[in-house]
Structure 1
Amino acid sequence: MRRGDLADLAAFVTVADQLSFRAAAARLDVTPSALSHTMRQLESRLGVRLLHRTTRSVSVTDAGHRLLERLRPAISEISGALEDLGEEQRKPFGRLRIYASHLAAATVVAPVWGRFLSTYPDVHLELLVGEAPIDIVAKGFDAGIGPKDRAAEDMIAVRVMGPMRVAVVGAPNYFALRRPPRTPDDLARHCCVQYRRAADAPLYEWSFSRAGEERRLAVDGRVIVNNPDMAIRAAIDGLGIAYTLESLAEMFLRSGQLIRVLEDWSPSFEGLFLYYPGRRQVPAALRAFIDMLSAASTAAMPTQVLRNPFAKEA
């Protein structure tokens, strides 16, 4: 099929329906002379007369009727498909695929996914959790959520969680045997749950700040993990003090399984972002998801903001 044939065939169906070049031209928003020229070119390419026309009337030839019998279902199917696409842009529909870090999945997606799916019952949410940066376009994802440095330069990044505070925590049974630290230097006398992002990455140094003073310390301990959840679990089990995120430790602090220390020294780091390719033709499901996350995000911006300790090293 040549480029433009589909439009010309659709125009032929309109002329056949209206049996008037003037009425068909008005429906197609073209001039009658331009539409007549289009029909003559179509007939010339096909080598068949489709329409009888005089200055007063238009009728369909026998060959034209046979073509119409085949064209009408196809044109109707195409029109329906285009209408469905338009409806999808107006109403969230279909599958929404998100790639998120463990932190983003737990603190950004999980708090809203029940409300999102109940609000938009025609959407299916697929969430893949991973720490390795990936090409979300090549892997078929609509968006990713994580530290801002995961977004490629040509992507749109939308903040979905404000800067988040660090929490230094330990179990009550751990502190029953040891005096809680009052300054970062006191950590030298404690077992600390250390964090290594990857097998070949260096151990993460703990950062602190208070009243403009900033400290960065290498800590010691008998447990090393590469997952924030496991750092908290080690602390709950009394294996040492963990350096984690306030949002991840919150439920264990409320339950009394963990005790927070060095709170006046705890800094914040830049929050989390949803990133996706391009601004144009954003799927309605993704737009609705972004709007819901943005409405739920934290607006406050602490004055001391550090690099995300659980993001990749620069």
Structure 2
Amino acid sequence: MIHPNSFDGLPEFLAVAKRMSVRKAALDLGKTPGSVSLALQRLEQRLGVLLLHRTTRKMSLTEAGKDLLQKIEPAAQAIATGLDAAAQSAKAPSGTLRLIVERLALSHVIEPLLPAFRQAWPKLNLEITVSNRHEHFASEGYDAGIQIGSYIAQDMIAVRLCKPFQWAVFGSPDYFKAHGIPQSTSDLVRHECIRFRRPEKGDVYRWEFVEKGSTVRVDPLGSVTVNDGELMRSLAVQGVGLIYSSTFHTSRELAAGTLQPALLECSPGSDGLFLYFSKAAKNQPKLRAFIETCTQLPKR
């Protein structure tokens, strides 16, 4: 069993054994010769054995001192190496960076970022969990996550990863041609809406708008409910109904002209994808390395 004072006097003993001089050992340790001598005496008293022969001209190890030195010097070197490695890890990224990432971020952030990150930090391991359920972020041991800003807890630090985007209603050109474009939130009751059940909470998402300075939440009416965003957008492209999404989620469809926005003027505000992490984690070298790579990624 290791007692609290088991290592008392050992640094002084090692230093004296190396230098064979209390004065020189004291200089190495940044202590006074008197404190070094006292530490050695207490060590010998505790062990009940003489470790050093002392004369006015010369100092040498006793047989017990040689035996002790032989046993503890390799351990002392291993401890010093371990401490150096620990100190170095506080400066250089190392270990495994664990991220939880919502699926939307894969093509927009992770895939374009990962090659540059691996090239910059080849010895740093990266573990990515793809999930839209981030409520157990801290308890499951993640270093950081990537999620839509409005879903991130307020006590987290967030770094923007994309340009601001807007939430709105989207439909295909054929749908709008057949059923008209809603001009206000009250028009939505006359439209077929594709409802979205959030996998992380199990509820049907309410469509949120800002109209005449007030927040308006709409429970969409429709015969189709899905829990997958990609399927939802695909059904909207086919003209099955209207969806509530963002200009970021629908960027490919907007570029191709297969979806068109409506009620953009009622958007509840700009949002975005963010890298988020706790205040306690912000100084981790491995996380700082990832943040640095993220900031160099062009925002789309």
* TM superposition score normalised by structure 2: 0.82
Structure 1 residue 275 corresponds to structure 2 residue 277:
yes
Alignment correspondent of 2:143: 142
Aligned residues of 1:145 and 1:273 also touching (Cα < 8 A): yes
**What is the DSSP-based 3-state SS (H/G/I as helix, E as strand, rest coil) of the residue aligned with 2:179?**
coil
**Partner AA of 1:123 in structure 2:** L
Tell me which residue corresponds to 2:216: 215
Check whether the contact 1:236–1:258 (CA below 8 A) recurs between aligned residues.
yes
Give, in angstroms, the shift of residue 58 of structure 1: 2.7
Identity of aligned residues (%): 32
Aligned amino acid, residue 28 of structure 1: L
Which residue in the other structure is 1:229 paired with? 230
**2:216 maps to 1:196:** no
Tell me the residue number matched to 1:304.
none
Q: Return the offset for 1:133.
A: 4.2
Partners of 1:199 and 1:5 in 2: how far apart?
Answer: 53
Alignment partner, residue 178 of structure 1 = 179
User: Do the aligned partners of residues 103 and 77 (structure 1) sit closer, same or farther apart at CA in structure 2, a change above 3 Å counting?
Assistant: same
In the alignment, structure 1 residue 160 sits paired with structure 2 residue 175 = no
1:152 positional shift: 8.5
Shift of 1:199: 8.9
- Once residues 246 and 255 of structure 1 are traced to their aligned partners in structure 2, the CA distance between those partners, rounded to angstroms, is 13
CA displacement 1:274-311 (0-9 Å, x = unmatched): 1226268x32101222344456697xxxxxxxxxxxxx
2:39 match: secondary structure: helix
Report what 1:309 is aligned to. none
| Separation in 1, partners of 2:65, 2:135 | 54
1:267 counterpart SS class? coil
Give CA-to-partner distance per residue, 1:67-102, whole Å, 9 cap, x none: 222222222222222222222222212211122344
User: Aligned letter for 2:158?
Assistant: V
Which one is further off, 183-192 or 162-171? Answer: 162-171
Q: Secondary structure at the match of 2:76?
A: helix
2:97 is paired with a residue whose SS is strand
Distance 1:11 1:254 in 2: 73
What 5-or-longer segments of structure 2 have no aligned partner? none
Contact persistence 2:93–2:289 (CA under 8 A): yes
Question: Contact between 1:98 and 1:144, CA under 8 Å: does it hold in 2?
Answer: yes
Figure out how many residues of one structure are paired with residues of the other and give that number: 295
Task: Determine if the alignment matches structure 1 residue 127 to structure 2 residue 122.
Answer: no
Q: What per-residue deviation string (whole Å, max 9, x for no partner) do you get for residues 150-187 of structure 1?
A: 5486xx52343576421422233433433233333332
Q: Is the 8 A contact 1:169 1:260 kept in 2?
A: yes
Cα drift, residue 245 of structure 1: 2.2
* C-alpha contact (below 8 Å) 2:170/2:259 kept by paired residues: yes
**Stretches of structure 1 lacking an aligned partner (at least 5 in a row):** 299-314
Correspondence for 1:2: 3
The Cα shift of 1:243 comes to 0.9
Q: CA RMSD in A?
A: 3.1
Secondary structure in structure 1 of the residue aligned to 2:248: helix
Kept in 2, the 8 Å contact 1:144–1:276? The answer is no
Contact 2:166 2:271 in 1 (8 A): no
1:25 pairs with 2:26: yes
Counterpart secondary structure, 1:63: helix
Using structure 1 for the length normalisation, give the TM-score: 0.79
Displacement, 1:227?
A: 3.7
Could you say which residue in structure 2 is the equivalent of 1:43?
44
In structure 2, what is the equivalent of residue 310 of structure 1? Answer: none
